[in-house]
Amino acid sequence: MSASERLFERARRVIPGGVNSPVRAFGSVGGTPRFAVRGEGPYLVDADGARLIDYVCSWGPLIAGHAHPSVVEAATAALAAGSSFGAPTEAEIELAETIAEAAPGVEQVRLVNSGTEAGMSAIRLARGVTGRDKIVKFAGHYHGHSDALLAAAGSGVATFGLPDSPGVTRGAAGDTLVVAWNDRAGVEAAFAEHGPDIAVLACEPVAANMGVVPPDDGYLAFLREITRRHGALLLFDEVMTGFRLERGGGAAWSGVTPDLATFAKVVGGGFPLAAFGGPTDIMAELAPEGAVYQAGTLSGNPVAVAAGLAQLRLLDDAAYARLQGLADQLTDGLSAALATAGVPARIQRAASLFSLFFTAEPVRDYTAARAADHAAYARFFHGLLERGVYLPPSGFEAVFVSLAHTPELVDETVAAARDVAASL
């Protein structure tokens, strides 16, 4: 029995499913999750001492790789000065300024502790500002597990096929309209029927929780126009895309500016830190200035803020060019490996963010994402894992490269993929 197997058995006795977040349990690919003991740049070292080339990167936060010296130094220094004050600090201003400077349309930012909290709070703000109740979201898009947003979500929900989680009451989800991504008629119908009651339309500017499914050309501009026409707000969930696609995230990448945006993962440098932001006139409606309540004991935590700032400081044009180059090399190599083996597969991508679908058909929405061959993905995943390459343990997740990855490691990955593809 491996160390991870022993740990998983012990974990399941005291932690539901043995994990603190469902997608970590390997439910979509089967087998035993590898228990991590340390991260070293591009590597995750597991409980059996295996040193895996890590393309999960903690599901996106570690854009500079594990334990980047600048991040470790900044967080350590912040910790030594005190882990939490429950009082404002200058560093929080600097992080808010950094996010506002990078993200189109963002003038003010509220720091919170998770992408879920950011999404939940942004929705409440949108409802408070517009005085409307209904929200529109897309099937397969995941905005965290707050009740109103946990309807036909992507990510862990997609992996476990829980379209609407038990425990979410009709009242909580009853104002959530779920439409198909990249479909115009569904959005038009929702606004035709409910327009005056719709507070906000939320989307990932590039869907990345049903695998990576970019918007069709012009689709985000369409969403911008129809929301504006009906007096609804447009919310970009940039938890995955923010500071990942480019420094200005999905808004800069698409040229479409939302009314509100949420951020997490990269901005926290691997710590529990997230944010939501928008124009001052909207954000001013938040307590304590405004009436929309939102709060958090550890919001803007100094250690997390220091780590986030240190990581964001690394993300200059050269960094994004490097990420792009690594993604080019990896996607070209994986595509060639699978094509040579005659395996029907396709890579879908936006900037350096991509995922692998085992289907020959384009994947434009959640239905198509679910129709891909996820059993083949599981076989590919395990074949690579046995060869020291750690892809996301679900075909509904995205593959992440980091500044710590190198062309040589990508070559190693592609060689392993060629080996596995031949036996798929």
Question: Please, which of residues 372-411 interact with ligand KE4 by CB under 6 A?
Answer: 397
User: What's the min distance (Å) between Cβ of 415 and ligand KE4?
Assistant: 28
Asked if residue 142 binds ligand KE4 (CB under 6 A), the reply is: yes
Residue with Cβ nearer ligand KE4 (148 or 420): 148
Residue with Cβ nearer ligand KE4 (21 or 340): 21
User: What's the min distance (Å) between Cβ of 268 and ligand KE4?
Assistant: 9
Asked if residue 21 binds ligand KE4 (CB under 6 A), the reply is: yes
Asked if residue 132 binds ligand KE4 (CB under 6 A), the reply is: no
Alpha-carbon span 246 to 316, nearest angstrom = 9
Applying CB under 6 A, among 33, 119, 270, 277 the residue interacting with ligand KE4 is 119
Instruction: Tell how strand 108-112 and strand 274-278 pair up.
Output: antiparallel
Which residue number has the CB closest to ligand KE4? 115
Residues contacting ligand KE4: total by CB under 6 A: 20
Asked if residue 143 binds ligand KE4 (CB under 6 A), the reply is: yes
Residue with Cβ nearer ligand KE4 (142 or 380): 142
Choose the binding region for ligand KE4 from 114-122, 123-131, 279-287, 336-344 (rule: CB under 6 A): 114-122
Q: 341: which strand partners?
A: none
Contact yes or no for 322/403 (Cβ under 8 A)? yes
Applying CB under 6 A, among 54, 237, 246, 365 the residue interacting with ligand KE4 is 237
User: What's the min distance (Å) between Cβ of 303 and ligand KE4?
Assistant: 17
Instruction: Tell how strand 346-350 and strand 353-357 pair up.
Output: antiparallel
Asked if residue 250 binds ligand KE4 (CB under 6 A), the reply is: no
Query: What are the catalytic residues?
Result: 142, 237, 265
User: What's the min distance (Å) between Cβ of 144 and ligand KE4?
Assistant: 4
Applying CB under 6 A, among 33, 65, 105, 115 the residue interacting with ligand KE4 is 115
Binding mask 185-204 for ligand KE4 (x = CB under 6 A): -------------------x
Asked if residue 302 binds ligand KE4 (CB under 6 A), the reply is: no
Contacts of 348 (CB under 8 A, 6+ apart): 211, 212, 213, 214, 354, 355, 357, 362, 363
Asked if residue 239 binds ligand KE4 (CB under 6 A), the reply is: yes
Applying CB under 6 A, among 156, 215, 250, 393 the residue interacting with ligand KE4 is 156
Residue with Cβ nearer ligand KE4 (268 or 337): 268
Applying CB under 6 A, among 62, 240, 312, 421 the residue interacting with ligand KE4 is 240
Asked if residue 116 binds ligand KE4 (CB under 6 A), the reply is: yes
Q: State the amino acid at position 327 in one-letter form.
A: A
User: Which residues of the shown chain bind ligand KE4 in the complex (CB under 6 A)?
Assistant: 21, 23, 59, 114-116, 119, 142-144, 155-156, 204, 209, 237, 239-240, 264, 274, 397
